[in-house]
Structure 1
Amino acid sequence: MRYISAANQLALEQRQLVARDFLWLVARDRQSGSPVSEGLWSDVGNIAAAVVNPDTGSAETRNWYGTSSLISIDDIPLVANLSVQNVSLRMSQVHEEVQRIVRDYDCRQARVEIYRGLFDPATRLMVAPAECRFIGFVDKIEIRTPAENQDGSVVMVCASHTQEFTRSNPETRSHASQVLRDPNDTFYKDAATVEDWELFWGSEKGRVPTQKRKKLFGIF
């Protein structure tokens, strides 16, 4: 179940609202590698608007570039499981800020946050800080250069943060891998050779064959 603020709930019940989307990207500077944050929204003009930080739960004000910078966002699936969801974002190819983001910054696996803000049509003010609807990473970027009399765009395909559960651990059970974390940890010092050791028990010489463990009272 999605929880929203009391102000947003009241606006929804009175059917007095205008929805706008906000896109927040955290990419990397190609020169220094430091993180760079940029915000786009689906309306006209540049504004400073408050959002609810998904990491802290507190409201904070950020700057957003508008005027057709963010054209459209695919429907975001609302699921209650750990499946990876993909969302496509379509941005203007000719907008100065969009060009700067996709060409000057490294957007591979850039963090993506998508918010939905509700505005009062009478005052043109946001009813409450925008709520986060999607957190993920940039999976693919396609810059579509148009032919004459056609429209171009920048399309980002983003995967939800649940994709982190699908990553495998590159660490191995080896002495070399273990000492990278702690030089004094020798737990796996003999892991590569222990299977070839020969143990002598009484008159038996050579390797002792292993046997499958038997069950005791029907359990291990």
Structure 2
Amino acid sequence: MQFLDASFAASLAAAPEAGLVPVHFVWIVGRDRESGAAVPIGLWSGAEEISIEVAHPGGAAQRRDYIGGCGFTVEGLRYVADLTDNAVSVALSAIADPVRDLLSDPGQGLDLRLAYVEIHATTMTGGAFTSAPQLQWVGIVDDGPLSTPAAGGEGGIALSIRSEIMTQLGMSSPAKSSDAHQKRRAATDRFCEAAALIGARTIQWYKT
């Protein structure tokens, strides 16, 4: 269950009558294409640069710098009580300078493959935040198609952010039944010695 700041929750409840301005903060940790070093970058839906404290998934607050003027939107934030793997979409304008620096050409910018992502959100009333940004999503970049516009059009990129936990739960590990993998744990382990052949065996083991 997610517990929201009381002011943030109140602004959401009053939205049908009072209206609200949603504000999103996206924190992406990509990798430098040359050195492989982790490089974080923060983007938010405002127009200017901002330094603000946000809640880290570990519980402590962190002060981060976020770049504005990126023209991005966040869609698909849904909370369910089962193991449904719902991806969140973060759409970025390709003409914004921070986005060009982040992505640019395949050989430049940051490598966003499986990049770590945090999404925070709050609302604004009267030009002020109703609460500190609330943590909404933690995941990894699963896809990021870059669209090339026609003449006079506007391109962009839509990052698909999947839950890292759901991604790991959906992965298969063939090494679990590998003889070589078992022997790396213990050289005398013969439990999977016939694993590669047993699938083709037609004789029922309990018959002579």
Query: Please, what TM-score do these two structures have when normalized by structure 1?
Result: 0.75
Write the distance in 2 (CA, Å) between the matches of 1:191 and 1:42: 53
Contact 1:52 1:131 in 2 (8 A): yes
Write the distance in 1 (CA, Å) between the matches of 2:74 and 2:5: 23
Deviation at 1:157, TM superposition (A): 1.8
Which of 170, 181, 184 is 1:177 aligned to? 181
Write the distance in 2 (CA, Å) between the matches of 1:142 and 1:174: 35
Matched letter for residue 87 of structure 1: V
1:64-213 residue pairs with structure 2 within 5 A?
Answer: 64-67=66-69, 69-103=70-104, 104-121=109-126, 124-161=127-164, 162-180=166-184, 182=185, 185-189=186-190, 191-192=192-193, 210-211=205-206
Contact 1:115 1:134 in 2 (8 A): yes
Contact 2:182 2:192 in 1 (8 A): no
Q: Secondary structure at the match of 2:144?
A: strand
Write the distance in 1 (CA, Å) between the matches of 2:205 and 2:155: 66
Deviation at 1:137, TM superposition (A): 1.4
Q: How many residues align?
A: 192
Contact 1:174 1:189 in 2 (8 A): no
Q: Who is 2:50 aligned against?
A: 47
Matched letter for residue 122 of structure 2: G
Q: Who is 1:2 aligned against?
A: 2
Q: Secondary structure at the match of 2:98?
A: helix
Write the distance in 1 (CA, Å) between the matches of 2:89 and 2:62: 26
Q: Secondary structure at the match of 1:163?
A: helix
Write the distance in 2 (CA, Å) between the matches of 1:13 and 1:159: 27
Write the distance in 2 (CA, Å) between the matches of 1:175 and 1:77: 42
Deviation at 1:126, TM superposition (A): 2.9
Contact 2:55 2:134 in 1 (8 A): yes
Describe the superposition over 1:83-140 as per-residue Cα deviations: whole angstroms up to 9, x where unpaired.
Answer: 111122111102222122224111111112111123342xx44333211112221111
Residues 10 and 83 from structure 1, CA distance in 2 versus in 1: closer, same or farther, beyond 3 angstroms?
closer
Identity %: 27
Write the distance in 1 (CA, Å) between the matches of 2:74 and 2:10: 25
Write the distance in 1 (CA, Å) between the matches of 2:130 and 2:136: 17
Contact 2:55 2:133 in 1 (8 A): yes
